[in-house]
Chain A
Amino acid sequence: MTIGDAITVRDLTRRFGRFTAVDRISFDVERGEIFGFLGANGAGKSTTIRMLCGLLKPTSGTAVVGGVDVSRDPEAVKQRIGYMSQKFSLYEALTVDQNIRFWGAMYGLDDDQIARRRTFVLEMAGLAGRENTKARELAGGWRQRLALGCAILHEPPIVFLDEPTGGVDPVSRRQFWRLIEDLSRSGVTILVTTHYLDEAEHCHRIAIINAGKLAAIGTSHELKQIFADRPIVEIHSIRPVDVMKALDQMDEIQKTTLFGTAVHAVLKPGRIDAAALRDRLQAQGFEIRAIDRVMASLEDVFLDVVERAS
């Protein structure tokens, strides 16, 4: 890999008939970076990834992945990337070992390379000793790690993960992210889409895409700055739904969200603080157990960005 950006995207656009799925998106991903791609279903995440992988031709704009222009040489892109999707596309009837050998051959590895990478993948996925288990008999977490292993057999400098942790238990998800972080430290660039906003915290930088447009981009810390002058308070009470209704009546409150049994309220800049809000609520007869200013979560950011964009 040459030094510099692993992925460069400029004004990338894709139309399907009259519908614009991806609308003039531009961003750069550095080498070794974990880049998160957030967006609702149908926002254009998958279309973007498919273009970056060389599966779909852009209508206009350019994307350079691993030094290759995807619209000029999609086949060369394929050799430089690894791809893994939610479906964990393994052959279920084949054993762990047979899957590894098959995908190794697909990426043009010779027997020595396959043997070497096989050891690496088995160790990485924690599947040593289970080489002859059929893929369909593996639990979700193992299958997912095996799928990742198969996707990086050819040691690609860039890896695309399309909602890789769907349907996997939390422990396996954490293990999986540890693998991703290891890969990133070894210099592999990772572009990942996810539904789980807590997972997005693992990303070095995040892009939020909405209705085909790039709505926000930056580190998790930078994105949260949109709440810098708008405090978020978390209110615990016995009747959260009624509290929420009361808050919605107040001019000083921008919006409210229910977080489990607590209520999150975004305060308008400089109008009211947590202590004053407690007094107001108690004056209305609510029993308030706790009211604290909290850090904005990525979920707050995501919802705010999407609401403002539409």
Chain B
Amino acid sequence: MRKAIAVGRKEFRQILRDRLSLLILMFVPAFFLLLYGYALNFDVQHIRLAVEDNDRTSASRQLISAFVNSGYFDLAAYVTDDRDYERLIDQGDIRAALVIPPRLQERLIAGQRVPVQVIVNGDNANTAATVMGYALSILRTSSTEYQVQPVSLETTSSGPLISVEARVWYNPELRSALFLVPGLIAYIGMISAVISTALSVVREKERGTMEQVRMAPLSTFAYIVGKTLPYFCISMGSSIAIVLASMVLFGLPMNGSWLLLILSLSLYLAGALGLGLMISTIAESQQAAFQMALLASFLPTMMLSGFVFPIASMPAAIRAVTYIVPARYFLVALRSIVLKGAGLPVFWPQLVALAVYAALMLTMASRRLHRQWT
């Protein structure tokens, strides 16, 4: 054990002095968090809206403020002519236009159906659908007060008999950040742990210190423990830092227990370190190790974990592959803890899967390393 500690202490010192390792361990996670956190955003906000108000009454103004106060629309221009908003949409100055017909208030009070026109730039179909959704829900809300009918709804003047009250739990505002950030944590933890471990062992091979270590009376077990422990601590530290940063930057809640979070993280990172070691027993150069590590951690964690694409909607063959991606299990546990505040009874099977993966990886890597040593 003394030897394992000595290896660990040496490794820590090397990491502190090695710019490449430091970069991978510190800046890559921070960079990814900012890049993906802000860029991978499926929400549509600050939609620039032009308004053609042909009524100019308190009713029409109330409708406009309903749009602006929703938080999704920014009032960009008032126009008086149809051609104006056409031009603004063509120039890309606005994404949507609201056309309020004359005599809105008068006809509302008379209890008539009033068509209100919403025009959306459809060049990005996803965004357009989202914007139309926002607009319809605002108009629907307003119509319950004013009996204004959205033009696209085929309803009678008495209104729908069944009204839907949708409620989204755990992420009531449907912010995609809350869905993506846990995936990001899994993703960053995986990459930094796998790459740094793989590189650190292969570097010793490349520089010849590995041979010297093999000449010393040191067991493979002590070597592996000493080698992985520092990276475990660092990965754990940076993962927790990412969780904290996500709370500050993206408003990630923490509804569950920190202890469970750390337990899940530990199992997950242990598997990642095992994978890194495994790669280091195969690769002979740092470059090869880097590429293998990237391929083995980056793609599966990104594509097959449910981080970006929901597993349930994958074809059966690919869905089967996701069962060997540890991030898949970790994500369930992580989302359960931070978003739902759930406890062990909910996600213990996921933790078992993570533990099995970690045990398997570490054993296989140790075996391979041991065989190579003797």
**Residue positions of A touching B, CB distance < 8 A:** 53, 55, 57, 74-75, 78-79, 81, 83, 85, 87, 89-94, 98, 101-103, 105-108, 134, 151
Contacts and interface: CB of A to CB of B under 8 A. Distances in A.
B61 interface: no
A105 B2 contact: yes
B318 interface: no
Interface in B213-230: 213-218
A87 B208 contact: yes
Contact of A85 (B3, B5, B208): B208
B17 interface: yes
A232 to B, nearest CB: 39
B215 A91 contact: no
17 contacts: A55-B214, A78-B217, A79-B217, A81-B215, A85-B211, A87-B208, A89-B209, A89-B211, A93-B13, A93-B14, A94-B17, A98-B13, A101-B6, A102-B7, A106-B7, A106-B218, A107-B217
B215 A105 contact: no
A103 B18 contact: no
Nearest to B215: A83
Contact of A108 (B208, B209, B211, B217): B217
Interface string B1-24: 011011101100110011000000
A163 to B, nearest CB: 12
List of 6 A-B pairs having minimum Cβ-Cβ separation, nearest first: A105-B6, A87-B208, A89-B212, A93-B17, A83-B215, A106-B216
Nearest to B17: A93
A105 B3 CA distance: 6
Interface of B: 2-3, 5-7, 9-10, 13-14, 17-18, 207-209, 211-218, 374
Nearest to A82: B215
A contact patch SS: mixed
B208 to A, nearest CB: 3
B215 A55 contact: yes
Contacts of B209: 89-91
Contacts of A75: 217
Contacts of B374: 55, 57, 74
Contacts of B214: 55
Contacts of B213: 106
Contacts of B216: 78, 103, 106-107
Contacts of B10: 91, 94, 98, 102
Contacts of A91: 10, 14, 209
Contacts of A85: 208, 211-212
Contacts of B212: 83, 85, 89, 151
B215 A108 contact: no
Contacts of A151: 212
A68 to B, nearest CB: 12
A57 B371 CA distance: 12
Of B3, B7, B215, B217, most A-chain CB atoms within 10 Å: B215
A72 to B, nearest CB: 13
A61 B5 CA distance: 38
A147 to B, nearest CB: 8
Contacts of A79: 217
